[in-house]
Amino acid sequence: MRKKEQKIVITFHTTAEAIAMESQCQKEGIPGRLIPVPRQISSGCGLSWAMPTDWDGEIGKWMESKGLRWDKFGEYLI
């Protein structure tokens, strides 16, 4: 069993929004990956973006500047 880590988890209303996030992060080298939405969170599309909590930036402001939409985000032990 994998050791749980504190991560920033971002959920989305639609799969298209999740894929747009993945694409933009890959282009700009932002760490993270798409994962199924963790059990402790509920979200519309079932996909979420998980990334390290020590990323050097403000993810909400960065997403707004790129026109990316999300449902909610926060730090979770996953």
pLDDT band at 19, cuts 50/70/90?
Answer: very high
pLDDT band at 21, cuts 50/70/90?
Answer: very high
Q: What is the pTM of this model?
A: 0.91
Residue bearing the bigger pLDDT, 19 or 40:
19
Q: Using one digit for the tens of pLDDT, what is the confidence trace for 22-67?
A: 999 999 999 999 999 988 887 778 999 999 999 888 899 999 999 9
pLDDT at 8: 95
List, as one string, the DSSP characters of 21-47: HHHHHHHHT---EEEEPPTTS--SSSE
